[in-house]
Amino acid sequence: MNASENLSALAGLLASGGVEVVDCSSVLGPDTPILQLPPDFAKNTPKVEIHKISEYDNDGPFFAWNWMVLGEHSGTHFDAPHHWVTGKDYEDGFTDSLDVQRLVAPVNVIDCAAQSAENEDFLLTADHIKAWEAEHGEIDKGEWVVMRTDWDKRVNDEAKFLNADENGPHSPGPSPDAIEYLLSKGIVGWGTQCIGTDAGQAGGMEPPFPAHNLLHRDNCFGLASLANLDKLPAKGAILIAAPLKIAHGTGSPIRALALVPKG
């Protein structure tokens, strides 16, 4: 089959339900958990605000619309390379200059839900990934890799989602060698179900915050606060993760969608 025939076949499968569209995003609104940084370290993103302009009333009799206060890295969101100092020099490292061809790609889902339930500071290592590949197949160049932890089940309780104590936040994520290994495979990006792409205790790693530091160093993308990864197979789905085309944007909330074969 040629490319045109393949697209026609996909359209037919979408229409028939042979391919299911899975929503991998959480609801974005005033109750959306927002990353909290130490006040002596950095300025925080404000909470999401939604303000009504009109709703079939004197301010707009035939239509309803709103305006918002919204940080680029709020809710289910996309990290562009310019988000981190290691990626600051890429001309195509902004949401309005990146190569959109890279945003739609096969997705590898590494299931760490059981380990994360047992240990909130669980770290996915390169050895874990190699063992996963031995079972499910190689991770190929240009693909997404996401870490399933089922952390999205906490999203309606900000305290549980951020999970912080006097020692900082506690959430699962990747080790430095895991990210280096994935980058050696040529991935397009990495995603998690937690507030950010790194583990909660990643500030004490070497390098600090390895997902941010290393991904953006290599002009790769990050996805955070993903949802419903339990509805995706280990391999075989396509992930669409497109940020808004914000001028010189460092990231954007997204509606992440996965195309999943049924049957």
51 is catalytic: no
Q: Are 204 and 67 in contact (CB under 8 A)?
A: no
- In which residue are the tokens 């075989």 written? 236
Distances (CA, A) of 20 to 24, 239, 260: 12, 12, 5
Q: Are 124 and 175 in contact (CB under 8 A)?
A: yes
Give the Cβ contact number of residue 230 at 10 Å. 15
Token reading at 79? 């990290």
Helix (H, G, I), strand (E, B) or coil at 95: coil
Catalytic residue among 73, 83, 212, 216: 83
Q: Are 218 and 187 in contact (CB under 8 A)?
A: no
- The catalytic site residues sit at 83
